[in-house]
Amino acid sequence: MRNYPHPIIAREGWPFLAISLVLALAASAWCVTWSIPLWIIFVFVLQFFRDPPREIPQEAGAVLSACDGRVIKVERAQDVYAGREAVLVSVFMNVFNVHSNRSPTDGTVEKVQYFPGKFVNADLDKASAENERNAVVLKTADGQTVTFVQVAGLIARRILCYVKAGDQLAHGQRYGFIRFGSRVDVYLPLDATVKVSIGDKVSATSTILAILPQNG
């Protein structure tokens, strides 16, 4: 996977920013009043694609949030991607959250699975099984499995994932992006200690979702 110097504004948004800026400037040259809606759109696009650097917690066994948003689910569930029972923590992103996705923990990517699907509201339970989604199954050095799934939403129409099986990921490392609102489901081992509750606001990389049990 190729890394790039942190751009503050996500590279995925550069084409959208360029187009919205050109349109706003062109409209301003014609009529300042009529250009106002286009400048509002430009500002919205600018804030949507912001990608600020984050402090990375160094606590042993920490599983970090893969995205910004609000916790909408903490429950026991079936991780169909890794074939196991797991604890599911789901984080919903609205259009005002940062949409850059970060790896929750260190490890080796065992597999990446993409599933085409629907685009129902990502806040609904059925979104995890019916919406377009991309799952990454990661194995830690201690042999723990952590699965994180990018789920498209009502507005989202593009899931971007930059890793493949065999890649090494570090906790907090940028691995993907979802355009325009969605969610990320994180499946944890049953003996993980969850640190968040439904309704909590979390930040990618800097919020600890759970602690994995440590060998020895």
Q: Which residues are catalytic, by number?
A: 182
Residue 67's CB is within 10 A of a number of other CB atoms, namely: 28
Q: Which of 11, 196, 2 is nearest to 99 (CA)?
A: 11
State the Cα–Cα distance between residues 48 and 99, nearest whole angstrom: 7
Q: What is the DSSP letter of 215?
A: P
Dump strand ranges (E) for 17-94: 50-51, 62-64, 69-79, 84-93
Q: Assess contact for 135 and 99: CB atoms under 8 A.
A: no
Q: Rounding to the nearest 10 degrees, give the CA dihedral for residues 94, 95, 97, 103.
A: 80
